[in-house]
Amino acid sequence: MRSSSLPPAAEAAPMDTVAERRKFVHGVSLVIRGEGIPVFLMHGIGGAASSCGALAQLLSAHGYQTFCWDAPGYGESAAPPKGLDHPDLVLDILATLNLGPAHLIGTSWGGVIATRIAAQAPEAVRSIVLADSTRGSGITRTAAERMLARVPELAAVGPEILAARRSAKLVSPSAPAWVAEAVRADMAAVRMSGFASAAAMMAQCDTTDLLPRLRIPALVLVGQDDVITGVAESKVLAENIPGAALRIIAGAGHAAVQEKPEEMSAAILAFWEGIQ
Q: Is-above-0.85 flag for pTM?
A: yes
Range of the domain at 118: 8-275
Does some domain include residue 2?
no
The whole-number average pLDDT for the span 7-22 is 60
Predicted local confidence at residue 7, as pLDDT: 46
Residue 172, domain CATH? 3.40.50.1820
Which tens digit of pLDDT belongs to each residue from 141-160? 999 999 999 999 999 999 99
CA distance from start to end of the chain: 36
Question: For residue 270, is pLDDT > 50?
Answer: yes
Predicted local confidence at residue 177, as pLDDT: 95
**Which residues does 275 contact at the CB level (< 8 Å), separation at least 6?**
126, 127, 217
**DSSP class of 52:** G
Q: Cα separation of 72 and 81, whole Å?
A: 8
Predicted local confidence at residue 235, as pLDDT: 98
Does some domain include residue 3?
no
Q: Cα separation of 164 and 168, whole Å?
A: 8
Does some domain include residue 161?
yes
Which tens digit of pLDDT belongs to each residue from 210-264? 999 999 999 999 999 999 999 999 999 999 999 999 999 999 999 999 999 999 9
Beta bridge partners of 33: 20, 66
Judged by DSSP in three states, 179 sits in helix
The confidence band for 16, taking pLDDT boundaries of 50, 70 and 90, is low
Please provide the average confidence, as pLDDT, over all residues in the chain: 93
Does some domain include residue 114?
yes
Other beta carbons within 10 Å of 35: 11
Look at residues 269, 256, 268, 270 and name the one whose alpha carbon lies nearest to residue 5.
256
List helix spans (H) across 121-191. 141-157, 159-166, 177-188
The confidence band for 139, taking pLDDT boundaries of 50, 70 and 90, is very high
Q: Cα separation of 102 and 118, whole Å?
A: 11
Region of 26 (left: φ > 0; alpha: ψ -120 to 50; beta: rest) is: left
Does some domain include residue 234?
yes
Predicted local confidence at residue 100, as pLDDT: 84
Predicted local confidence at residue 276, as pLDDT: 74
CB burial string 150-176: b at 16+ within 10 A, e below? bbeebeeeebeebbeebbeebbbeebe
Does some domain include residue 32?
yes
Does some domain include residue 20?
yes
Which tens digit of pLDDT belongs to each residue from 58-83? 999 999 999 999 999 999 999 999 99
CB 162 within 8 A of CB 186: no
**Which residues does 29 contact at the CB level (< 8 Å), separation at least 6?**
22, 23, 49, 69, 70, 75, 76, 77
Does some domain include residue 137?
yes
The confidence band for 11, taking pLDDT boundaries of 50, 70 and 90, is very low
Structural domain total, the chain: 1
